[in-house]
Amino acid sequence: MAPLFDLSVYRGEPTPEDIAAANAQVHQHERAITSIHARIAALLADVAQLRVVEAQHNEAIRTCKGVTTLARRIPDELLAQIFEQCVADGWTRAPVVVSAVCSAWRRAARAPRVWSHVYVNCSSPDALARTRYWVTMARAAPLDVTLVSVWNPTWQLEELMDLLLQHASRWRTLTIESTSLYQVNVLLARTPLARTRAPGLREVSIQTEVHFDETVDDGATDVVGLADALSPIIAPALTTLRYFANAAPRTHRRSRSRPCSRRAPSSSSATYTVSP
């Protein structure tokens, strides 16, 4: 649209007519811009709608491809073995994650042995509920239990250990990892108190730290509850005890065990083979 007057040659004071004409042009351009914005908004709305349709098509494509994928053709038994190995290799949340993939994986993940590796992070805010859910899903399957504790309250450790001891008859292995020897003793002390047995328990591994300080760990410098917790009555099938720490234990089940390997004379780790 051509301007009503030539601004390049205008040098004098604009007349009221010039001002009115300029304002009219401003309003006209503003209306044009408003119209453009409306068209842009309409086009963006169309694009958004097309994106939704595109996503629907992509989802349909994934569904169709899922029918022919190898993962859908793997037998449930083999899938369950794969999931179990994932947990054994350290992916503790595997049963929960794979259950959310598809109905076939969820069905395979219901196999009790997939949940048989019970990893208990005592510092987790939902540790008790998570552990209870895990052992429930494992049903009657043998359990490989791992307890990890980092300066947790005594009552919390006792609560978790008491829950696990309710299923001690299914224990296959027990691993305790803690930065505090005192907390290891707290956990072990619950075993004889529960008056339960672990007839299938064959391996126990303990990894901890000794602080040699009366103000730390209440002065605990040895695994004092080991003999009672793993007595022949409680764990008759126990064959291997592994202990890792910055100091070798002064007490162990001498009547039932003998050192079978030490990495060095003053080693801080040792393995004991329990005699029948």
Residue 4 is predicted with a pLDDT of 58
The answer on 122 and 187 residing in a single domain is yes
Is the model's pLDDT at 173 over the cut of 70? yes
Can you tell me the distance from the alpha carbon of 246 to that of 268, in angstroms, rounded to the nearest whole number?
5
- Residues 22, 138: one domain? no
pLDDT in tens, 9-61: 556 688 888 888 999 999 999 999 999 999 999 999 999 999 999 999 999 98
Residue 76 — pLDDT band, cuts 50, 70, 90? confident
Query: Are 108 and 124 found together in one domain?
Result: no
Whether 150 and 232 map to the same domain: the answer is yes
The bridge status of strand 117-121 relative to strand 269-274 is unpaired
Considering only CA atoms, which of 152, 193, 191, 150 is closest in space to residue 169?
A: 191
* Same domain assignment for residues 55 and 23: yes
* Residues 154, 247 within the same domain: yes
2 domain residue, yes or no? no
User: Which residue, of 112, 133, 167, is where some domain finishes?
Assistant: 112
234 in the same domain as 101: no
pLDDT above 70 for 256: no
Indicate the number of domains in the chain.
3
The answer to whether 172 and 144 are in contact (CB under 8 A) is: yes
pLDDT at 271: 60
Specify whether 194 is located in the same domain as 84. no
Does the residue 144 lie in any domain?
Answer: yes
Within a domain: 197: yes
The answer as to whether 5 is a domain residue is: no
Please check whether residue 221 is in contact with residue 254, taking contact to mean a CB–CB distance below 8 angstroms. Answer: no
Give 143's pLDDT tier (boundaries 50, 70, 90): very high
Q: Find all residues with CB under 8 Å of 44, minimum gap 6, and list them.
A: none
pLDDT per residue over 93-135, tens digit each?
889 898 888 888 888 889 998 999 999 999 888 899 999 999 9
One domain, residues 130 and 260: yes
| H or E stretch at 271 | strand 269-274
- What integer best gives the mean pLDDT of the chain? 82
- Cite the beta strand spans of 102-187 per DSSP E: 117-121, 143-149, 171-178
Report d(CA 120, CA 127) in Å as an integer: 7
Task: State yes or no: pLDDT of 193 exceeds 90.
Answer: no
pTM surpassing 0.85? no
Q: Which domain holds residue 250?
A: 116-274
Cβ contact 186:223 at 8 Å: no
Same-domain pairing of 81 and 175: no
Give a yes or no: residue 152 inside a domain. Answer: yes
